[in-house]
Structure 1
Amino acid sequence: MPLLETRALNKRFGGLHVTNNVDLVLETGEVHCLIGPNGAGKSTLFRLILGEHLPSSGSILFGGEDITAFKSFQRIRRGMSVKFQVPGIFKALSVRQNLEIAMQHHYEPATLAEEIDRLLAFLNLSGDARRLAGNLSHGQKQWLEIGMAISLKPRLLLLDEPTAGMSPEETHATGEMIKRLNADGMTVLAVEHDMAFVRQVADKVTVLHLGKVFAQGSIDDIVADEEVAAIYLGQTTAHATAHQQPGGLHA
């Protein structure tokens, strides 16, 4: 049974058909990336899955349960967690306090400090535990919010452009974090533009275009697809190959 499934999912805003009959299957234990040009409908689909938007038609199943009408908090209680593109951290509190707020109701007091220490080490933030979160670098703020999202040990981690604004080194480190989480059993769905990151982490890639599923497959399948190159880069594969970054297609 898939962990997450959307069936003929549609979302209209007035006369604008933003999500168009999207069928998406996410298997348990998979890292799945959503890519596509601006305006493809990635963010809307993401918000439909999270429950911030209700679909115009179609259905969403999570662990086999129909959650189409569920509110966001009900989906989170069933095992979803999300990290948005803009970090939603408490800037005036320390890094450790941010994690304590996220975790305090989910761990016994006797084990909370130990769990926070473990998570700080995983996030490469042990040396910054007492720093104000607002004084962290952009990449570190992203890592802190990932830590807050995974502190609940979700069945499904939703990531909205997790590497936006990061340096190549920070992006690679983030990819390694995602791979370690996945190796421990966490399923991940990420909206992402950085194709080096997608190549690093993805088991499967879905390309959206004009609200529709345009292509699905492995990263190698997607990179080799001339039609994907045409809509995603606005150029032919031959031209893309001459200008692509070492990580493959680059948005």
Structure 2
Amino acid sequence: MTALLEATNLSKRFGGLKAVDDLSLAVQEGELHCLIGPNGAGKSTFFRLILGRYPPTAGTVRFCGEDITHLQAAARVRRGMSVKMQVPGVFAELPVRQNLVIALQHKFSGPELAREVDRLLALVDLSAEATKQAGQLAHGQKQWLEIAMAIGVRPRLLLLDEPTAGMSPEETYKTGEMILELNRKAMTVLVVEHDMAFVRQIARQVSVLHLGRLFAQGSIEEITDNEAVQEIYLGKGHHHGH
């Protein structure tokens, strides 16, 4: 079975620093995969290598069976990758609905576009905010609008970079439920996250990065029970259970 996304022996050096070090990781079609690890583990760098924002120092990236290692970011998006980065990229002065129209207009038109926008507004619970300026949304709602913009193009792979950063526990939980719903509808999702409660809520498959390398991989139960992971990640178990 060919993985949807496959990174093989991926490395990225910045001067003498190895941010990602000989990392191999595969994401299967239909998977909901969480990438966790302490700060400086290389998660964001790995993400940018997958997206084509950085060229790798070594290694390959394959997507849908094709070698995309040297493709530009835009070409990767056209092949079916979509991303929501930490910093929201919404058009603050425009209404919520218009933000979605702009994101989807290359893919849909006419009544189909209107239907799709309505469907997404309902999915991320922003139907009541449709005419509000996007800049006036609460922090969590802005993030949801951006998730809606990212999934509107119906990507093969949705990449989420710390989607719950700065959210309240309620917003975080709601975001988790949205992501689970997307995954149930057969979307493959790769999430970079360090909120363990959130990871426990959504993760099927977890990969732990440490110092740019793949440190551990398995189900959420295997990872939370792994003492070596607790050592690097949870500060020797003191925070276990929070």
Q: What is the TM-score normalised by the length of structure 1?
A: 0.94
1:163 match: 164
1:118 and 1:6 map into 2 onto residues whose CA distance is 33
CA-to-aligned-CA distance 1:38-70 (integer Å, 9 cap, x gap): 100000000000000010010000011000000
Summarize the alignment of residues 60-75 of structure 1 with structure 2, pairs less than 5 Å apart: 60-75=61-76
CA-to-aligned-CA distance 1:62-100 (integer Å, 9 cap, x gap): 011000000000100000000001111000000001001
1:208 match: 209
1:23 match: 24
Summarize the alignment of residues 180-195 of structure 1 with structure 2, pairs less than 5 Å apart: 180-195=181-196
Which shows bigger deviation, 39-48 or 115-124?
115-124
The residue identity in structure 2 corresponding to 1:160 is D
Percent identity of the aligned residues?
62
1:222 CA drift (Å): 0.7
1:111 CA drift (Å): 1.6
2:226 and 2:234 map into 1 onto residues whose CA distance is 12
1:88 and 1:240 map into 2 onto residues whose CA distance is 33
1:115 and 1:18 map into 2 onto residues whose CA distance is 39
Which shows bigger deviation, 195-204 or 56-65?
195-204
1:99 matched to 2:100: yes
Structure 1: stretches of 5+ with no match in the other structure: 246-251
1:29 and 1:100 map into 2 onto residues whose CA distance is 27
Summarize the alignment of residues 25-104 of structure 1 with structure 2, pairs less than 5 Å apart: 25-104=26-105
The residue identity in structure 1 corresponding to 2:171 is E
1:248 match: none
2:128 match: 127
1:11 CA drift (Å): 0.4
1:234 match: 235
| Paired residues, number | 241
Which shows bigger deviation, 150-159 or 167-176?
167-176
2:7 match: 6
The residue identity in structure 1 corresponding to 2:60 is S
Q: In structure 2, the residue corresponding to 1:124 is in which secondary structure?
A: coil
Q: In structure 2, the residue corresponding to 1:21 is in which secondary structure?
A: strand
Q: What is the TM-score normalised by the length of structure 2?
A: 0.98
2:102 and 2:109 map into 1 onto residues whose CA distance is 13
1:123 and 1:46 map into 2 onto residues whose CA distance is 24
Large movers: runs of 4+ above 3 Å: none
The residue identity in structure 2 corresponding to 1:143 is W
